[in-house]
Amino acid sequence: MNIYRHEMRMSLRSMLYWTTGMLVGLLFFMMMFAAVSEEASVINLIVSQFPSEVVRALGLSTLDLSTVLGYYGYVFMFILLVASVYALKIGISALSEEIRAKTADFLLSKPVSRNVIVTAKALSVITLLALQSAIYSLGAFIIVDIITGQPYDKTVFLLINLSIFLVGLFFAGLGLLLSVSIKKIKSVLPVALGIVFGFAILQMLNQSLADPVLAYLTPFAYFDIARIINARAYESAYVISDAVLIVSFTLLTYIIYRRKDIPSV
Amino acid sequence: MNVIEINKLTKYYGQARGIVDVSFNVREGEIFGFIGPNGAGKSTTIRTLLALIYPTGGSAKIFGKDCISEGPEIRRQIGYLPSEVYYYDNMRVIELLKYSASFYPDTDNKRIYELAEIMELDLGRKIDDLSYGNKKKVGIVQGLLHRPRLIILDEPTGGLDPLMQHKFFELIREENQNGVTVLFSSHILSEVQRICTRVGIIKEGKMVKVEDMSTLGHTNYKKFKVEMLEPQPVDYFNLAGIGDLSVNGKSASFIFNGDINQIIEKLYAKKISNLIVEEPSLEEIFMHYYEREA
């Protein structure tokens, strides 16, 4: 419990910065909603001139930019990218930051087992991601409500926003696993950016090719916004795939970290 | 009773040698000096005892329990001070020490203030703003605040000024008098001579010898470098107790172990232009010591 408290104290502020950044980005994009929704027919006309593969890759084929949720869903794809970079970053940092800051000797010479350390750190990561989703959802709700002033489906809105948490867990879990598998990560953020954009490109490919197998390879495909808007629910196959991967990443992290040599300072 | 029992402990980092078949025991209530040059395997041995790294072969027990499988339980009773100290930069000293204390059930914070006062440590400062020596003091306090039964010190005195070193040794001696066992790793022989009762010597990953301090204690090696005004015969300094003698015209250098007055007499009889007397490095002593033994 003391490790968990310590972790939270160390990383709460950075989480607030990232979440504020996401909300500021949202505010900026939502201010253009009125203009975009008015000109939606013109935009649709321009878009229809593009090759259909490109339109699908950009996610423009399924979302109606003239509606609140359609437009929000499009903007949300970019916000989700930022949230994913944050999730991957804290996942990678949780265990490896102690080695980079050379505080691992301090922590691991205390009477705690490796498992307890992983548990405490993983719990703090989950808490941070949950707080991030909660704060973002609340902020997004206020921003969208005030700026658009139009009614929209609140359940769908919540389902869209909750995918930040579910995708975040995937990246955090992946980050934990990477941090114990790779010998030394010198700088976390560039690695996190690279990996998240790799998955985003995979998602563009997936949207363009509409390949059912490819979709399982990228968490961005698990919570497709157009399908959430239509079905008002997630698709269970993808939720299960997400959960299985999160649990596997975490279990592997426990197993590898148990036997990991802590490099000398 | 043995507090530490190390049996054929071996650690390879991939292909690189860490330690090979290291075996020795540390008895309850003693201050055991663990000496050897840099890279000999002192830290590797200590880090294995603390389960920071996992052995490739052999085993180690502390308080009769296996270091790896019962690590957390053992570490409750261990205070560890590493050679390089790093803490969370944005914490204050007192916060860090309380965090450290929170790992040990029923420690009272009074001990933190007591130790901080002895070591003249300012508890309100940020870790980031501390000098290396002050960080070391934080290390000493966090290593002792839970009243461990075994203290493991890995080259602890670097960065401490002589006055603080003295206070630190007093503190360790006091703990030892209360029955605490100490494993003290160092490459500075005089430090080890100062407080240890027994020493183990490690070289190139292998234990060379474990010996009572009283055996090593009578040795009083000094390293001499002399510049004469006139060239001297090669065997001018050739006394009993001289080692590594090299004479080159007017200059001579050697290691001497014995009654120092003999050398003074020799020097007094001649005009000299320069004289350096210093503590020989451990390696030089060992070379000399073990050459004679062999």
All structural domains of chain A with their residue ranges: 2-258
Q: Which residues belong to CATH 3.30.70 in chain B?
A: 221-293
Give the tens place of pLDDT for each residue, B24-72. Answer: 999 999 999 998 878 889 999 999 999 999 999 999 999 999 999 999 9
Tokens 């010479």 sit at which residue?
Answer: A109
Report the length, in residues, of chain A.
Answer: 265
Would you say B37 and B283 are in contact if contact means Cβ atoms under 8 Å apart? yes
Identify the weakest region by mean pLDDT among A256-260, B10-14, B159-163: B159-163
Chain B contact present for A236, CB below 8 A = no
Contact B50 A116 (CB under 8 A): no
- Half-sphere CA count of B183, side-chain side, radius 13 A: 30
Largest CA distance in chain B: 71
**Is pLDDT at B267 greater than 50 in this prediction?**
yes
As a whole number, the mean pLDDT across chain B is: 87
For residue B268, count other CB atoms closer than 10 A to its CB: 9
> CA-CA distance, B110 to B115, in Å (whole number)?
9
Query: Which ipTM value was assigned to this complex?
Result: 0.86
Chain A contact present for B97, CB below 8 A = no
Give the number of beta-carbon pairs within 8 Å between A and B: 61
Substitution target in A11, A14, A106, A112 with the highest count of B β-carbons within 10 Å is: A106
How many angstroms separate the CA of residue A229 from the nearest CA in chain B?
45
Chain B contact present for A12, CB below 8 A = no
For residue B174, count other CB atoms closer than 10 A to its CB: 11
- Chain B positions in Cβ-Cβ contact with residue A109 (cut-off 8 Å): 50, 52, 75, 78, 80, 82
End-to-end Cα separation, chain B, in angstroms: 32
Contact B87 A265 (CB under 8 A): no
Question: What pLDDT does B23 receive?
Answer: 92
Contact A261 B52 (CB under 8 A): yes
Tokens 């948490």 sit at which residue?
Answer: A165
Contact B100 A113 (CB under 8 A): no
- Chain A positions in Cβ-Cβ contact with residue B73 (cut-off 8 Å): 111
Superfamily of domain B2-217: P-loop containing nucleotide triphosphate hydrolases (3.40.50.300)
Would you say B279 and B190 are in contact if contact means Cβ atoms under 8 Å apart? yes
Checking DSSP bridges between strand B31-35 and strand B181-186, what pairing results, if any? parallel
Contact B86 A264 (CB under 8 A): no
How many angstroms separate the CA of residue B52 from the nearest CA in chain A?
6
Contact B75 A109 (CB under 8 A): yes
> CA-CA distance, B75 to A183, in Å (whole number)?
26
3-state DSSP call for residue B150? strand
Q: Is B291 exposed, middle or buried (0-12, 13-18, 19+ CB in 10 A)?
A: exposed
Q: Which residues belong to CATH 3.40.50.300 in chain B?
A: 2-217
Q: Is B195 exposed, middle or buried (0-12, 13-18, 19+ CB in 10 A)?
A: middle
How high is the mean pLDDT in each 10-residue block of chain A (265 residues)?
Answer: 92 95 94 84 80 78 82 92 96 91 92 95 96 96 90 91 95 95 87 92 84 84 86 90 95 94 82
Substitution target in A105, A183, A265 with the highest count of B β-carbons within 10 Å is: A105
Q: What percent of chain B has pLDDT over 90?
A: 48
Contact A261 B54 (CB under 8 A): yes
Contact A101 B89 (CB under 8 A): yes
Question: What pLDDT does B294 receive?
Answer: 43
Contact A110 B47 (CB under 8 A): no
Q: What CATH architecture is B221-293?
A: 2-Layer Sandwich (3.30)
Alpha helices per DSSP H over B29-161:
42-49, 71-75, 93-101, 110-118, 132-144
Burial B272-282 (b: 16+ CB within 10 A, else e): eeeeeeeebeb
Confidence at B291, pLDDT banded by 50, 70, 90: low
Supply A78's token pair.
């970019």
Q: Which one is predicted more confidently, B215 or A177?
A: A177
Tokens 């261990």 sit at which residue?
Answer: B78
